[in-house]
Structure 1
Amino acid sequence: MTDQRLERRRTGWLLAGLWGLLLVLAALRPLAVPDEGRYAEVGRWMLQSGDWLTPRLNGLPFFHKPPLLHWLQAASMAVFGENAWAARLVPALHAGLMLLGVYLASRALAPALAPKASAEAFARRAALMFGTSLAFLLGGQYVNHDMLVAAWIATAIWLFAFAFLHGERPHAGLARLGFVACALGVLGKGLIGVVLPGGVIFFWLLATGQWRKMPRLPWFSGLALFALVAVPWFVLEQRLYPGLFDYLFGDQQFRRYTAGGFNNAHPWWFYGVALLALFFPWLFWVFFAAKPGVKSSSVATENKAFQIWLLCLIWVGLIVGFFSIPRSKLVGYVLPVLSPLALLAALGWERMFGARAGAPRLLAALCLAAVALAAVLEPLSTRLTRDKRAYDLAQTLACAASPEDTVYVLGGYPYDLPFYVRTPKPFVVLQDWPALRRTAGDNWARELFEAGDFEPATAAQVLQSPEVLPDAARRPGQWLLVPHDHPDGDWKHGWVLVQRGRAWSLYRSAPERPVAAEHESLRGCHR
């Protein structure tokens, strides 16, 4: 076996080990709320109901995002069971896709960026820097749409960039794959799946004088592939729910981007701090790659190095700038820029240390320190939402309730509990819904009543008034969940406390089931 094959095999084992560590970490904590509980439950409900077209939250159409995450989670749960690890496998697979993209792109670009270095060693370093970051080890197993769309945005940019770097005529096959990656990004999180990679490539072509190549893309076949992948679901759902386009693209994307009043408002510099945490400690070496700096006898090599450097600069600057404009900011929005940052960090390391004898040991030590940091933060992260979770009530409710029973919720919504209990029926959420329509902000209540607007008949069954509680308390097989911060009142009459959890309390109706009645537990019960 040649030295090159041995080096690639070594790299393969290292990257497989990092991805395996990610999968282990993904099994060590309960679902965080609200995001992980919400999205895992949407996938579970899709699998349970058999309706793979319409995502649903608590039985109601849920159109905050397109369905790719939910499809993949439902498929994962069909294979590996309805558990948190199966839900987290989907973002973990996309984190692995980003890791592979960083490695392959860095290996292909190393001869231009670092001609004195081994291409394999350079690519392995870039992949290790990404693979030991908090973005990969923690963000890569968090159940939401961020890692999924980040992976497809990064993949699309790499594919289009390599298509244009191929020569005067772009590589048609890579370009077509780029169109497909954009389509999957749109199915993952909406318009940013095509706007961001399209914007990065467009400004890069202008900045490097390659704009004359744009007409030579395989536009007809590429757009046909894009439409074939991205368009059918939107057309089908718009026919079923005529308000879908205005809600998904208008409210959840355009108005959320341009208007205030949404959660997670942060100052403009938020993403600088976020990237420092997400890419710690490797962000430091990015600054040593601030200039192309390649000295080569080949003008073409120097030009290519400059083009690649400029691509990374535009990639990071455009996406960070794009998400810094709205007031609402979330850490996961900037995950797509980790790919070019890993490439630049590897380049900065090469320029700082080159072939110095102690550099591999220092790199290994920093990798181990970064992994240790992720391992320490993993259990600590569960404390952030433990005072909101209802996970500790799941076994009691799942084993005591029957599939025909009704679960009422007063004063909030326990995002994680339906997933762990595996109830076949939606919870009945009790609120003064007309009043909440006038006062609710960007919260759980708005999610539910806006979802109910798409199916008023279903909403009438699962979004009710607290006035139903006295009658429910007189019937067997009725359950009530109430958060501890909800004030006491007449609602308690007729309800028997079963368990007081950390954040929620579980009650049952006073009448017991007949002793002779056969009791079938919910599927979440593990006796």
Structure 2
Amino acid sequence: MKEEVVEDSRLFKRDSLWVICLLLAAVILYTSGLGDLPLRDWDEGIVAGVARNIWRAEPGSQTWLYPTINGDPYWNKPPLIHWLIALSYQLFGVSEWSTRLVPALLAACSVPLVYLIAKELFPHLSMAIFSALAYLTLLPVARHGRLAMLDGAIACWFCLGIWCLLRGKKHHAWLLGGGIALGLICLTKGIMMGVLLGGIMLLFTAWDSPKLLRNSYLWLGLLLGIMPAIAWYCLQYFHYGNQFLGISLGDQTFKRIWSPVSTLDVPPWYYLLEILKYSLPWLIFLPYGVKLAWANRHLSWGKLTLVWGGVYLLAISLMKTKLPWYVLPIYPALSLFIGVSLDMVWQTIRQKKQLAYFEQIFLGFISLVCWLGSGYYAFVAQEPQIDLALIILVAGISFTISSALLWLRNRYFILVTAGGFYLALLLLFNSSYWLWELNNDFPVKPVATMLQAQTPGLEKIYTNHPYFRPSLDFYSDRVVIPQSNEQLEQLWQGLQPVYLLINSDILPAPKLDNKQVVGSVVSWQLITKSEGLK
């Protein structure tokens, strides 16, 4: 008995050390350079605006319970993350760093949770370590996890729920945590996400441990978890009536299943392409991991990874609305596939058996592409980008060394790959390149500064820009409304004075007489009527 206690203590200390190291590595990666770049459209600007309204609301206003955006009720998502960001504003002030801090920390917590999930599933410690290292260094996980969005938190809550569910097979009280995690999911991204991820948890339980479905702890945890979310939805309904249900549960939730939110028409295999594009270098080891899971579908890890990865990918692929970050909660499952595959390579080398050539050739090919890409940005591009070339070069060097080690049958190629790519990601996140969506449109900060200086507070401003820029609304603290030329001309002829934000590069320009330019930035002009004609 004493020996068992000593062994349990030793294992606990070992696991605690790995959890601390993985969490520290994730926090450094996810928070490094966090506030260096502006907030992007759409979600970051909207989330930040809602959180700021909560933070600066008068005591007793209940804005925290009934959040608003630009003076209108905010019914898009429940406000759990917005509450936490508002708390960050209270502690650290309003900035890009304080806006992204809470989502980044929650996303970072999912890294050690992947390790803990793998520890519950796999017989070898190396499988858990490799799964966590792969997840830590997946570009889409780290990049989207750093943003002021909801999906990194969803990945964290779901990993927490899965871990509690696995622990609950031996100690039933842990099942309470699974239900509470599901409630956090509902308070973060709404009922539909809770139904989807809760369905995955129940499907896995029914396949792997059907007796747990009769356990009172499971259903008590579910009840405790979803009660706050149900209470929030009921309060919104009592406050706003049927309009809330039509927008929150209709337009912003279930309608997205059969109707896209944008005009982009993407195929059902869109998310497969996203995984293929952004999961390198670990993508090399994913197919064999899926094959192993199918071969071991009688084991818990095979059942969980197949249900998690398969059901979630099928569900989001069938939805008409497809956005890149919707795929984020699938990456922990993919990391488990990859961890098993890497461990098989590790054991094969250790046992001095023959390796397949696919991984060796593909890793060498990736390193070659990195070398060519680095050379292009350093010497061939019209505007050389030396810092970007350096980032790609670091990845290329690490992949080259890893490829050589793999050809030499040295199993430490895994650690070199993870360490080298971690360094490349760290350099990327301290550069201006990691948030490449900012290049899709004009920089909002100079325009926002002009609007703040030249217009009254809370003023509505109309623009000939074709679509909303929530980040511009946030930085300017104004409501900037896109309008057609005809609408702008009608507003101009009205009796009320208006401010128009006109981009001279957008042709044809609206026909406006007797205008007064009160500010200009690059191609943007802020105009109103001449003083004598107002």
Report the TM-score range of the alignment, normalised by the length of the smaller protein: 0.7 to 0.9
Determine which of 153, 157, 162 is the counterpart of 1:157.
162
What corresponds to 2:89 in structure 1? Answer: 77
Shift in Å, 1:52: 0.7
Residues 133 and 371 in structure 1, CA contact (< 8 A), matched pair in contact too: no
What corresponds to 1:499 in structure 2? Answer: 520
What corresponds to 1:126 in structure 2? Answer: 131
Determine which of 400, 406, 417 is the counterpart of 1:365.
417
Letter in 2 for 1:103: Y
What corresponds to 1:176 in structure 2? Answer: 176
Q: Pairwise mapping of residues 148-297 of structure 1 onto structure 2 (< 5 A)? A: 148-163=153-168, 165-166=169-170, 171-208=171-208, 210-218=209-217, 221-242=220-241, 243-259=243-259, 262-290=262-290
What corresponds to 1:485 in structure 2? Answer: 506
Q: 1:127 to 1:293 in 2, by over 3 A?
A: closer
Determine which of 315, 324, 329 is the counterpart of 2:317.
324
SS at match of 2:122: helix
Q: 1:43 to 1:487 in 2, by over 3 A?
A: farther
What corresponds to 1:447 in structure 2? Answer: none
Determine which of 35, 57, 73 is the counterpart of 2:43.
35
SS at match of 2:149: coil
Residues 489 and 510 in structure 2, CA contact (< 8 A), matched pair in contact too: no
Deviations 1:202-251, CA, capped at 9 Å, x for gaps:
3223434x323311242553243124321221111111111212221122
Deviations 1:72-129, CA, capped at 9 Å, x for gaps:
2211111121111111112212211211210222233332xx3xxxx2x443322221
Q: Pairwise mapping of residues 453-468 of structure 1 onto structure 2 (< 5 A)? A: 466-467=490-491
Q: 1:40 to 1:23 in 2, by over 3 A?
A: same
Higher helix share: 2
Q: Which runs of 5+ in 1 are unaligned?
A: 296-301, 437-463, 513-527
Residues 152 and 181 in structure 1, CA contact (< 8 A), matched pair in contact too: yes
Q: Which moved more, 1:43-52 or 1:359-368?
A: 359-368
Letter in 1 for 2:45: G
Deviations 1:140-180, CA, capped at 9 Å, x for gaps:
112222222232233223322332x32xxxx4322111111
Q: In structure 2, how many angstroms separate the alpha carbons of the residues matched to 1:430 and 1:323?
A: 31
The alignment of Structure 1 onto Structure 2 pairs a total of residues equal to: 455
Q: Pairwise mapping of residues 268-417 of structure 1 onto structure 2 (< 5 A)? A: 268-290=268-290, 306-354=299-347, 356=350, 358-369=410-421, 371-372=423-424, 375-376=427-428, 379-386=432-439, 387-401=441-455, 403=457, 406-411=459-464, 412-417=467-472
TM-score w.r.t. length of structure 2: 0.76
Q: In structure 2, how many angstroms separate the alpha carbons of the residues matched to 1:3 and 1:203?
A: 31
User: What RMSD in Å do the two structures reach over aligned CA positions?
Assistant: 3.4
Q: 1:58 to 1:261 in 2, by over 3 A?
A: closer
SS at match of 1:499: strand
Q: In structure 2, how many angstroms separate the alpha carbons of the residues matched to 1:205 and 1:240?
A: 38
Residues 154 and 197 in structure 1, CA contact (< 8 A), matched pair in contact too: no
Q: Which moved more, 1:26-35 or 1:74-83?
A: 26-35
Q: Could you tell me the percent identity over the aligned residues?
A: 25
- Bigger relative CO (Cα 8 Å, ≥ 6 apart): 1
Q: In structure 2, how many angstroms separate the alpha carbons of the residues matched to 1:220 and 1:334?
A: 28
Deviations 1:379-436, CA, capped at 9 Å, x for gaps:
3354533324422223333345554x73522234332123223x3xx53647489x99
TM-score w.r.t. length of structure 1: 0.76
Q: Which moved more, 1:12-21 or 1:234-243?
A: 12-21
Residues 15 and 131 in structure 1, CA contact (< 8 A), matched pair in contact too: no
Q: 1:390 to 1:486 in 2, by over 3 A?
A: farther
Residues 410 and 480 in structure 1, CA contact (< 8 A), matched pair in contact too: yes
Q: Which runs of 5+ in 2 are unaligned?
A: 1-8, 351-408
Q: In structure 1, how many angstroms separate the alpha carbons of the residues matched to 2:16 and 2:181?
A: 26
Residues 30 and 382 in structure 1, CA contact (< 8 A), matched pair in contact too: no
Residues 117 and 159 in structure 2, CA contact (< 8 A), matched pair in contact too: no
Residues 266 and 329 in structure 1, CA contact (< 8 A), matched pair in contact too: yes
SS at match of 2:227: helix
SS at match of 2:50: helix
Shift in Å, 1:322: 0.2
